[in-house]
Chains A and B, each alone.
Chain A
């Protein structure tokens, strides 16, 4: 729909809830609005240039970097963040697999990786190790060396046939 919207006040649909954003800086990214205006600090930010993936969220069903989305342009979209993955106090399958495989050290990369892995197992339930590595190339982890993360993903993919 056409129409000019004042960047200073707009609404977003996050995890199924319609939320009002006010006072965001002009041209602010979805990452900064989620964290600084809506208090949803599960989504992390580091590079703000699309390299690290710690800000990964789902936008209308597609995995994207929230730092590369201008918040005021996605008022009509459906946004899903790590906070909406499982009811409070419970874990999603992917979160559980990360815990079981010790795939979390400092935890900074974890929310972004959980979003990326949740998307990956939906799209490519038969991914092999090489595909997993390639598909997760947009999520950097400085602690684990990825071994346990890959193991967690493989446990989810192989659940059916092992």
Chain B
């Protein structure tokens, strides 16, 4: 089993263009679980390890475009604090809820998106943030919104020869936050998750829901209501109830070993109410 440590993206995509079985390994926190528990690596299989590709492990703020460009293999620990957390708080909040320090030191946003779990915390934030995945292959490059790249549970539009190199996140002014419910307070896969991003400049909000559907869901009906409540200070209990109802009807949860559909539907409404309430008070604080 040959292991490759390409040092740049060109080299990586050349390796991926070759025929034969291979796997990409970033932090390994999803892939090694599969390998340890049955999806053994074949004798001839090639491993393409992303750890030495500096470009994938760094990030930059492009002020002319107003875009935060985050390398696909930046680990959660780095997304959770420091400058990224100031620029993009909802992503940092999502990063802080992932696993344990051990998992956050290794796991990456690229791996989270490529794994395409409906419970992916970073995936949920990326959808709410309108993040675009920059994808390279030996044949060229393309840019696809994360919301379109992930097509179903554990399904993406990524070809075997393709590599996500970065995510482009348009920065917005206004509240953003991430909240999740699990069976305990830390180190837990979400039973329901929600990410709210308010874009005051364009007068819109995006609410993405995790773990309550086959993939991350947006709330097209609740979003204008949320914007109105937050930007026009028209928040009262009745309007919040309306938002919560609308969010619950956007959810399409299932029963599984972690929770019932009913509980998930209930929980995601609670999370939405929490985030909207936080957005209202954050705005009030800023205006006083």
Contacts and interface: CB of A to CB of B under 8 A. Distances in A.
Interface of A: 1-7, 26-27, 29, 48-51, 53, 56, 62-65, 67-70, 72-73, 76, 116, 119-120, 133-135, 137-139
Contacts of A49: 33, 36-37
Contacts of A51: 187
Contacts of B33: 48-50, 68
B149 interface: no
B106 A4 contact: no
Interface of B: 1-7, 11, 25, 27-29, 32-33, 35-37, 40-43, 45-47, 49, 51-52, 77, 99-103, 105-106, 184-187
A2 B185 contact: no
* Top 6 closest pairs, chain A to chain B, by CB: A138-B100, A27-B41, A4-B2, A137-B186, A137-B187, A62-B105
Nearest to B103: A50
A138 B106 contact: no
A149 B127 CA distance: 39
Contact of B103 (A65, A119, A120): A65
Given A65-B103, A72-B1, A135-B101, 10 more contacts: A2-B6, A27-B35, A27-B41, A50-B33, A51-B187, A65-B106, A68-B33, A70-B32, A137-B185, A138-B187
B16 to A, nearest CB: 14
A49 B45 CA distance: 22
B9 to A, nearest CB: 13
6 contacts: A64-B102, A67-B36, A68-B106, A70-B28, A70-B32, A137-B186
B32 A63 contact: no
Contacts of A135: 101
Contacts of A116: 101-102
Contacts of B40: 26-27
Contacts of B185: 134, 137
A27 B1 contact: yes
Given A2-B11, A4-B3, A26-B43, A48 B101 contact: no
B76 to A, nearest CB: 11
A7 B101 CA distance: 28
Contacts of B41: 26-27
